[in-house]
Structure 1
């Protein structure tokens, strides 16, 4: 049996979820073959880097633009499609991104032959940017922009289809919404016939996920299932599995065991995390280190793309008695279990790992979009809250001072945690493949799963 995982960058959580399912599959079927397709790898590398950097810039510097993009705001998309003139802040953002990555074509405001660009992808992206930013200067600018959007989508969908048809998997698992949408294009045409499982890795639903071509949706919580049903997805196609986690979260240590393993003291402990890019981590660390009234034990896990790594390392050397800096790892169960509270960026995978370990989460750096859904989930279910950096010392003080509140939040987190979600997704995969005896492989009974 062959399984293809489809993900998209940036955002390492989608890949981590795929890896967790992969581990569960390898345990269940030792002979299975798996492969990963990050759809950004199908683009010219320079164009891919420009798009990923633009995403991170938009979330950090222009959160209102990102929220409109995520919400599929009608006027915002009309601007992107060239139907109405673009707002100046969108033009400024696109031109700055073009200047950063394509300085040689920044001054060009009209469509140019591809010979002036490094690749077809570069030609298409830059012409799209120019058509949005200079709509009134380009003849038939509106039609050009709409045509470019359709062309770009069709080209990327064709590349996805080519990869799928060459690899010939038995089943497709999409852990990000854009690959799921690109698959839909070819499935409707009968060019891809394998069943598709969509695994949502947040606590909300984006409309891009909603496709009749997705056989089964595996979601984090019943609230997400209800939202999919509201958007027209049949109930029998939705399974509440939880967000897939690596096997370590199915057998977590006690807090005392985790602290002994890491050589930590028994005192109020805070874990700060910000994803692969460690967004907001340095500011949170400095805020707690500068708190004159509390002496929390601070743990930090920093990703390989952390821009502030050198500063964090200096702080760790200077505050060895209370600040521990750890490199990025896919299994942070010991760090979470050693802590009393987790602080940082509320990504779906991070929240799921925190809940599986029975810890409350304080969101200090929310990028909006899907993370806004995650924050709402935290607050609604009383397993966390959102707080600005200036509020963080006071919020932690109130939490550690109120032992009953902290105990209740931990209990709520344990009850919501789904450490065996990856196996639940595998069970749904089996249900699909059982309908086709030619593709189904009997599981290895030795694992008793």
Structure 2
């Protein structure tokens, strides 16, 4: 019998979309090794020159003009990508998408970004007969995700489902699955082993993340944390942003035995298990990974738009707090120094997590839908 094939299409506008695609792909194979998966960032794959140039321009805009990004997000909030935009995308990047699909012969296509989702939708209008699932990778539902050709929407929460039904999408085409995380986040790792692996001390630990792009604004709150370096172990993770890493390493405030500055790593699940508090930008993927670990979170500098919505969801759900003052740092850094209080808080979060989220649910749902 021919093995089932799943094609997952993403784009590199932030790392979370592609991480979600890989997380779902690995999760599917973990649950059913007979399933074959392929993850592709279409823009970079089909146009290796122009694609990265556009991604880099977007990255600079997010870094330098986040308010502009938020303004565009809100202005287009209820609008799908229009036919002209879809045609332009198709001509610029995806003229060979149908050839890729024909070559790979997937039984199912999952899109984790609105752009490939729009292009595959257009191909379906032109005759492509492959089921299209749209995995919305945030805790909001921007209009660009929606298209009549989508067979099933996989969403993070009932709130996102309601936003889609309010736009006229039938309830039967939406399933609340949660955002998938890599199987590394499905299990708990031994803290003492992680400390040995990363040469960490056995002491209260805070993990500070700037997302896949390592965007850490010149925020004095992040600098303020270094004042706790005698009592708190600080791990700054700056992703692929080598310039940010070099800048922090050159700063005397960060030159201390209890401060670690690291770049990209695939071991975030372990670092979360070795930490007592996560300080992060509220990207949908990172927040969901923190949720899966039941680690308390502090959110800083949300990009206007989807990150604000992500932040609001997790704050209202009791999984985190906005980092707005040094008083909040002092409060949480004091809490994690009290062993009983820290353990009890995390235990309570795990109970709450189990009521709202199952890390394996999205992968299981897709397998069931395939059957």
TM band (smaller chain): 0.7 to 0.9
Q: Distance in 1 between matches of 2:117 and 2:86?
A: 17
TM-score (norm 2): 0.85
Tell me which structure has the larger Cα radius of gyration: 1
- Relative to structure 1, the CA distance from residue 413 to residue 160 in structure 2 (aligned partners, 3 Å threshold; closer, same or farther) is farther
Taking the aligned partners of 1:18 and 1:303, their CA distance within structure 2 comes to 18
Over 3 Å counting, the alpha-carbon distance change for 1:342 and 1:196 in structure 2 is same
Match for residue 28 of structure 2 among 25, 30, 39: 25
Contact 1:355 1:414 in 2 (8 A): no
3-state SS of paired residue (1:71): helix
Q: Unaligned stretches of 5+ in structure 1?
A: 82-145, 435-449
Query: 1:273 is matched with which residue: 204, 209, 216?
Result: 209
CA change 1:23–1:420 in 2 (3 A) is farther
Map of 2:223 onto structure 1: 286
The partner residue of 1:55 within 40, 50, 58 is: 58
User: Structure 2: where are the runs of 5+ without partners?
Assistant: none
Aligned residues of 2:137 and 2:156 also touching (Cα < 8 A): yes
Superposed, which structure 2 residues align to 1:7-406 within 5 Å? 7-41=10-44, 44-73=47-76, 149=85, 151-155=87-91, 156=93, 158-190=95-127, 192-253=128-189, 258-259=194-195, 262-280=198-216, 283=219, 285-289=222-226, 291=227, 295-315=231-251, 319-388=255-324, 391=325, 393-401=326-334
The alpha-carbon deviation at position 386 of structure 1 amounts to 2.1
8 Å contact from structure 2 (residues 155, 175) kept in 1 = yes
Quickly say closer, same or farther: Cα 1:55–1:227, change in 2 above 3 A.
same
SS at match of 2:314: helix
Residues in 1 aligned to 2:190 and 2:218: alpha-carbon distance in whole angstroms = 28
Per-residue deviation, residues 233-285 of structure 1 (Å, max 9, x unmatched) = 22222222211111111111365664465443343321111112210177555
Relative distance call for 1:30 and 1:368 in structure 2 (3 A) is same
User: How far is 1:6 from its partner?
Assistant: 0.3
Change beyond 3 A, Cα 1:196–1:150: closer
**Superposition deviation, residue 431 in structure 1:** 3.2
Instruction: Tell me which residue corresponds to 1:126.
Output: none
Aligned in 2, Cα 1:62/1:28: closer, same or farther, shift over 3 Å?
same
Retained in 2: the 8 A contact 1:277–1:306? no
Aligned-partner Cα distance in 2 for 1:271–1:73? 34
Change (3 A) 1:318 1:14: closer
Compute the displacement of 1:40 (Å): 1.4
Range with greater deviation from structure 2 (393-402 or 194-203) = 393-402
Question: What SS class does the counterpart of residue 102 from structure 2 fall into?
Answer: helix
Q: Partner of 2:75: helix, strand, or coil?
A: coil
8 Å contact kept, 1:358–1:412? yes
Normalised by the length of structure 1, the TM-score is 0.71
CA distance in 1 between counterparts of 2:218 and 2:192 reads 27
Does structure 2 conserve the Cα–Cα contact (< 8 Å) formed by 1:316 and 1:324?
no
2:358, 2:252 → 1: CA distance? 35
Displacement, 1:180?
Answer: 1.1
Deviation per residue, 1:105-162 (Å, 9 max, x gap):
xxxxxxxxxxxxxxxxxxxxxxxxxxxxxxxxxxxxxxxxx97x56513424543333
Given that 1:219 and 1:243 are in contact with CA atoms closer than 8 Å, whether structure 2 keeps it comes out as yes
Structure 1 pair 299/176, CA: closer, same or farther in 2 (3 Å)? same
Contact kept, 8 Å, 1:362 with 1:385, in 2: the verdict is yes
Pair 363,25 (structure 1): closer, same or farther in 2 beyond 3 Å: same
Secondary structure of 1:198's partner?
strand
